[in-house]
């Protein structure tokens, strides 16, 4: 749902200018230094990027899902590291609080997330439970008088953990229930005794976007930090958060694919072989055309899923379809773009070399492609049995 087309168009134009003039020129620097310049982070805060989808009553811009993916199409056209820094504040780092948090939790954390004062992080994945998230082993034991919980366990590959001020942590509060029903969600603040961070991970790509382990060892968390004030709803919260995140990531994949094929087309028009631009060769044209068609299909899927979510529909299947198709499409476009560049595509002086590494992660997080296939198929079977 787009509420005010003119206002959204102005916001998109402003972000597109920022991407073009400030972020793209600094992509190589971020990849080289593994850090986003502080001046750019300050500009992101001033533009309200940390609060794009946080409700206006808490200081955010309060974009609808359709508006958010429209913005994400533009943000995807540059290095994923930039969007990753504020992306968790608009998605997995804040949305659990928005959806299920108590009024006190919303008032305490959402304004600071919207301003960028706090970076939010979502701690679900563990060394022994990734795709099988419901089998997590981090536990939270409530003390006798009910005033606090003690958390123990380790979370792995946690986005923005090195910078995070708060963590949305999934932990098992009912050891008798080994499934999703035994899991609760907590807000744990940085600096809480018993919370420790591992060394930053060394990744294939997406340098400048940081991940690390988050370790809880007898970490004492006040009972007031239980999201929603109720046990046993944490896994449902996580799944609702992931539905939104999958649509958002689908949009980012579209933006990245558009950037890659645009760069490839420009190169194909400039590069000459056999006396003419390689863009004139039909096999190159086929790669360009296939990419354009698939990008259009992915964009349409993301927009349709976003509109349905704004209407209040359950979009678990649609979000999984959009993220599955868009991320796989993005990988195919990356491969074609390298092929069009030829040997130059393997060289670091060209942006496609970096994008080729960066976009590989899209098929892994927010649900691997294989897990999304299972989600889609199981939803189909469930519907058929009804």
Q: What is the CA radius of gyration of the chain?
A: 21
- CA 367 vs. chain centroid, Å, equals 11
The catalytic residue among 294, 353, 366, 383 is 366
Q: Which two tokens stand for residue 13?
A: 């134009």
> Distance between CA 239 and CA 319 in Å, rounded?
11
Based on the residue annotation, tell me whether 366 is a catalytic residue of this protein: yes
Task: Catalogue the active-site residues.
Answer: 366
């Amino acid at each position: 749902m787009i509420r005010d087309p003119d206002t959204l168009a102005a916001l998109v134009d402003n972000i597109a200018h920022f991407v073009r003039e400030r972020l793209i020129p600094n992509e190589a620097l971020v990849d080289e230094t593994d850090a986003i310049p502080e001046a750019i982070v300050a500009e992101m805060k001033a533009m309200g990027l940390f609060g794009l989808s946080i409700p206006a009553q808490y200081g955010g811009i309060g974009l609808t899902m359709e508006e958010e993916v429209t913005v994400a199409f533009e943000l995807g056209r540059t290095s994923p590291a930039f969007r990753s820094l504020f992306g968790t504040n608009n998605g997995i780092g804040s949305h659990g609080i928005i959806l299920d948090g108590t009024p006190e939790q919303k008032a305490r954390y959402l304004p600071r997330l919207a301003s960028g004062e706090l970076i939010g992080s979502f701690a679900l994945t563990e060394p022994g439970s990734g795709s099988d998230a419901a089998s997590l082993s981090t536990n939270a034991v409530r003390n006798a008088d009910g005033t606090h919980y003690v958390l123990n366990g380790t979370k792995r590959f946690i986005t923005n953990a090195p910078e995070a001020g708060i963590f949305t942590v999934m932990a098992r509060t009912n050891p008798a229930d080994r499934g999703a029903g035994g899991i609760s969600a907590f807000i744990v603040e940085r600096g809480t005794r018993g919370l420790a961070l591992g060394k930053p991970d060394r990744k294939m790509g997406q340098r400048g976007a940081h991940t690390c382990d988050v370790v809880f060892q007898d970490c004492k968390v006040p009972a007031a930090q239980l999201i929603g004030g109720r046990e046993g709803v944490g896994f449902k919260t996580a799944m609702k958060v992931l539905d939104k995140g999958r649509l958002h990531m689908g949009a980012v994949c579209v933006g990245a694919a558009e950037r890659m094929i645009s760069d490839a087309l420009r190169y194909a028009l400039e590069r000459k072989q056999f006396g003419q631009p390689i863009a004139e060769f039909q096999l190159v044209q086929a790669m360009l055309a296939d990419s354009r068609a698939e990008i259009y299909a992915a964009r349409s899927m993301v927009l349709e899923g976003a509109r349905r979510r704004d209407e209040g529909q359950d979009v678990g299947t649609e979000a999984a379809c959009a993220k599955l198709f868009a991320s796989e499409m993005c990988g195919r476009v990356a491969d074609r773009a390298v092929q069009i560049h030829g040997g130059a595509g393997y060289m670091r002086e060209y942006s496609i070399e970096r994008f080729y590494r960066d976009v590989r992660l899209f098929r892994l997080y927010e649900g691997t492609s294989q897990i999304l296939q299972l989600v889609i198929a199981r939803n189909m079977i469930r519907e058929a049995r009804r």
